[in-house]
Structure formats: structure tokens, C-alpha cells
Amino acid sequence: MKTYRIYQIDAFTGRRFQGNPAGVVANADGLEDRQMQAIARELNNAETAFILSPSSDDHDVRIRFFTPTVEVPSCGHATISAHYVRALENNLPSCTVNQRIGLGILPVDILKKESGYRITMTQGKVEVSPELDTSVRTPLLDALGLTPRDLDPDCPVQIASTGHSKVMIGIRSESVLNSLEPDLSALTRISKNINCNGFFVFTFDSKDDDILTNGRMFAPAIGIPEDPVTGNANGPLGAYLVKNSLIASRDGLVRFKGRQGEAIQRPGIVRVEVDVEAGEPVRVRVGGDAVVAFKTEISM
């Protein structure tokens, strides 16, 4: 029997019970895959992160991520949460940590502040696919409860990825965004057809000057009806915006803040940075704050 330290962390927020909750097992060495999956199912967060010892000298820590039903290669808010816990437990200074996740070895920046830590992760390979054709777009809009008139005409419906793909759907109105009640079964069927597990609906219709986008993300195919605040959606959104010339870079860099979660009373902010070369997005980072909701222990 071993005692495991388990945290519930609210990520992309500095306020408890807002943002996106993630489970974190701080000392996961010794757990079998089936046990990790069982813990993730019991905690029932969108993702739970399992912090493991490094397996070689080229990284500082390994992290695995499980939804309630499957393992996934990466997760934005659970990465923020895991490194927040690790920084707290080890009283880390501001530093850069190399993590091994399902996408490979990627850096994570730790910024120590008076109020805690801000964590910024580098995401995986940037890919933006061609616009989805009408045969996919029409049933997708039906499943989301949208009409073609709701779409932002500047925003093609495309799949974007920084290691974990999402369909980007830009719409005109924040009020329409917050009123969506999608057909989750239909979205699950569409996910299987297009090999993409998430649908990120966003708008530039923001009441705050320092917030560029508001969004909602649905991923029922992997057990997430709606994710409150999603690093793996807002990061690809940054690449998508650059790719479609919807945001201008300055000295080869794009920075913006995206809000998510208001419709389900879990608002949070994702800070997005995109490195741009010759007009193309080449590297994406997402960051945010975090707070401990609670901590417990289990023995297995």
C-alpha cells in the first residue's frame, strides 16, 4: 500500500471554484494504468494529471493525462495544474522545466509571484487543416444549433491543432455563444467521422477591451460534454487566427487573452502567445494562474 497525494486545482483562474478543475496526483509512481484510469473516473474532472519521475536525463518530470474514459496525450489546464502543484510542493523559484508528455518533451515556464505561480506551457506541432466542406459543416452547425447567418464570415470552419485538434467555429455574437445547447450525440458522431474530438465555438464579440475572444468547447466523444476553460482549444485558436490573418503580429509575436466558461459559471482566462515567421504560426504557448480547491490522500 502507498499513500497518494491528490489535489483538485482550479486552473486559468486565481479564484477557487472558477476556471477549469483538474485532478492532480502529485506522486503517481507505482500506479498502474488501470488505477490511473479509475482515479480519473472517480474524480470525474475533464482531465486528471499524474506526476511521475523522469525516465531519462533529457527531462525533469513525466506527466500523463486521463479523462474519465481515456488517456489523452496532452491537456492545457491539467498541465497548468500539475506544474502548479509541483511548484508549490517544491517551493520552486521562477524557472523552466522540461516535461515529457504524450506529445514528447516540451518546456514549461514557472513564474513565481507574490500571490502564487503563473504557469506557461509550450504546446506541440502547429497544424491548421483546410476549411471543412459543406458535407461536414452543415451537420456540424445543426448539431451546435447554429445557422449559417450566425457564423463570422471572416472565420473559416477549420480543424486546428497544437498536438490535440479542435474544430474552430467563429460566430458573430456572444449572446448566441452563451445560449448554445448542442446535440452531444450528434457531435460525438461527427467527431468519429472527422477524427477530431473537440469543437471550439468562439467570438470576437467581447465587452472587455483586454479580452480578444470568448469561447466554449464541447468534446463529448472523449467524455467531456463541455470543458470550462481549455488550453488545448485557445492555443490552437491562436495558430488559427494567425494562419487566417485575423490577428497581426508584432516583432514576430502575437499575444492575446481568451475568456471561456462564463456560460457554465466557471469563467477563466487563457493567455496565448504565438511565434510567427513569414506570416505563419510556428510555436504556441498558453499560460494562466491556478489555485488549490482541496487536497486529500488515498492509499492503494
Q: Among all residues, which ones are annotated catalytic?
A: 47
Cβ proximity of 259 and 18 under 8 Å: no
If you search the block for the grid coordinates 506529445, which residue do you land on? 103
Cβ proximity of 214 and 206 under 8 Å: yes
Distance between CA atoms of residues 184 and 196, nearest Å = 14
If you search the block for the grid coordinates 508584432, which residue do you land on? 250
Question: H-helix or E-strand containing 177?
Answer: helix 174-179
DSSP sequence for 134-159: HHHHHHHHHHHT--GGGB-TT---EE
Phi/psi of residue 37, each to 5°?
A: -65, -40
Cβ proximity of 169 and 202 under 8 Å: yes
Distance between CA atoms of residues 164 and 278, nearest Å = 24
Using alpha carbons only, what angle is made at residue 163 by residues 106 and 235, rounded to the nearest 5 degrees?
Answer: 85
At residue 140, what is the residue type?
Answer: L
Q: What are the helix (H) ranges across 224-295?
A: 231-243
Q: Categorise residue 16: left if φ over 0, alpha if ψ from -120 to 50, beta otherwise.
A: beta
Q: Most distant CA pair in the chain: distance in Å?
A: 59
Q: Helix 76-90 crosses helix 231-243 at what angle (to 10 degrees)?
A: 120
DSSP state of 2: -
